[in-house]
């Protein structure tokens, strides 16, 4: 067992949940944090936490021991702050051709490293299995930070004074989300897919559970999305720009379009089939939050008034990319579908019995 990693709670993290705090600091999923807590690997002010959702106070000491958490824990090693933690990486190959591969990304996994240089991303897995994608993608001149990442990380590759930062990656899914992704294995397919995304010809559908009952069976959300002062994406309903009183209420940002259909209502929630026509960061999550129906399990865009202490807990966001369609190099349309992960299906089944 390695020495524990220690954290002191600063004022900006006061009131934050313990599992959310550790997930952010250690770059792992909340479910992985929960297993560590259940395995006795986490202490809060030198005591075992009562629950994963313990609220933090400024100045509190958190210690997390990195190591194996038991038979039902995780099974693949990942380096975090120089220590090793076991992390499960179940990546399903849905389709494999010489030009592309379609995979199901599990929740809790980054698609590619950020400037923090995380290990065990989807790109790391892909390069190990399909080494040819090392030289596929947009070739960029790196910033000083990314140059450092490139020299030490397997998922970034140098060539002269440039680097492939996201080899094979044409689109992304949030770390907390799961579902279908297409990865290019050749430069020709990468360019082909990239153009389809730019022309908005790719079809992407998601299964999303949100809070509340929605009055409409179908709607189109077209609120512009921008990055806010705190780094979060922000959006609000469009207003009459011609009225002087609305000048201060104008939401700047990029055009963003999300379409949804109501599939069914369950308890206090609505299950939606969502199609995005643009690809903005956190688009579905930001749009549903601005629409007044935030996504269940989202710890970034949520309304405290909608979350009840007695409700069933979900250790991830209820957002799954269930359908993906695009054209191959022959010009033929191909479509792929993915069933709900077990944890999301179980969550829905439990709602049906209440």
First-to-final CA distance of the chain: 43
Report CA-CA distances (Å) from 241 to 227, 238, 248, 250, 251.
20, 8, 10, 7, 10
Query: Which alpha helices (H) appear in the chain, and where do they start and end?
Result: 18-26, 30-38, 122-129, 144-152, 187-198, 283-290, 342-352
Only one residue has tokens 């897995």, namely: 125
* Alpha carbon distance 305, 280 (integer Å): 27
Q: Report the largest interatomic distance among the alpha carbons of the chain, rounded to a whole angstrom.
A: 64
Query: Residues 179, 320: contact at Cβ < 8 Å?
Result: yes
- Residue-by-residue DSSP string for 288-327: HHHTT-PBTT-SSS--GGG--TTSPP-SS-SEEEEEEEEE
CA dist., res. 185 & res. 168, Å (int) = 6
Known catalytic membership, residue 13: no
Catalytic residue among 13, 124, 174, 315: 174
Return the active site residues.
174
């Amino acid at each position: 067992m390695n020495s524990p990693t220690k954290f002191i709670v600063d004022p900006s993290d006061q009131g934050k949940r313990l599992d959310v705090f550790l997930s952010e600091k250690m770059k792992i999923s909340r479910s992985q944090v929960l297993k560590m807590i259940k395995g006795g690997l986490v202490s809060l002010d030198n005591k075992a936490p009562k629950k994963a959702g313990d609220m933090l106070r400024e100045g509190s000491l958190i210690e997390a021991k990195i190591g194996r958490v038991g038979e039902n824990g995780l099974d693949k090693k990942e380096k975090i702050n120089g220590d090793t933690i076991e992390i499960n990486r179940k990546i399903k190959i849905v389709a494999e051709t010489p030009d592309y591969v379609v995979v199901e990304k599990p929740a809790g996994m980054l698609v590619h490293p950020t400037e923090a240089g995380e290990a065990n991303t989807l790109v790391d897995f892909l390069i190990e299995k399909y080494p040819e994608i090392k030289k596929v993608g947009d070739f960029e001149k790196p910033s000083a930070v990314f140059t450092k990442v490139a020299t030490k990380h397997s998922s970034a590759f140098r060539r002269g004074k440039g680097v492939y930062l996201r080899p094979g990656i044409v689109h992304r899914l949030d770390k907390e989300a799961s579902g279908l992704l297409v990865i290019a294995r050749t430069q020709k397919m990468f360019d082909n897919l990239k153009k389809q995304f730019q022309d908005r010809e790719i079809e992407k559908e998601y299964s999303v559970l949100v809070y509340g009952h929605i009055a409409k069976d179908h709607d189109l959300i077209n609120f512009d999305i921008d990055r806010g002062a705190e780094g979060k994406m922000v959006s609000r309903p469009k207003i009459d720009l011609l009225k002087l009183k609305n000048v201060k209420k104008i939401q700047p940002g990029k055009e963003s379009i999300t379409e949804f259909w109501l599939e069914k209502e369950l308890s206090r929630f609505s299950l939606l089939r969502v199609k995005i026509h643009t690809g903005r960061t956190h688009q579905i999550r930001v749009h549903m939050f601005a629409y007044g129906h935030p996504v269940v399990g989202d710890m970034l865009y949520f309304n405290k008034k909608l979350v009840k202490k007695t409700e069933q807990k979900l250790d991830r966001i209820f957002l799954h990319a269930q359908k993906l369609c695009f054209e191959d190099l022959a010009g033929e349309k191909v479509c792929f579908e993915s069933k709900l992960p077990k944890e999301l299906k179980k969550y829905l089944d439990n709602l049906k019995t209440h």
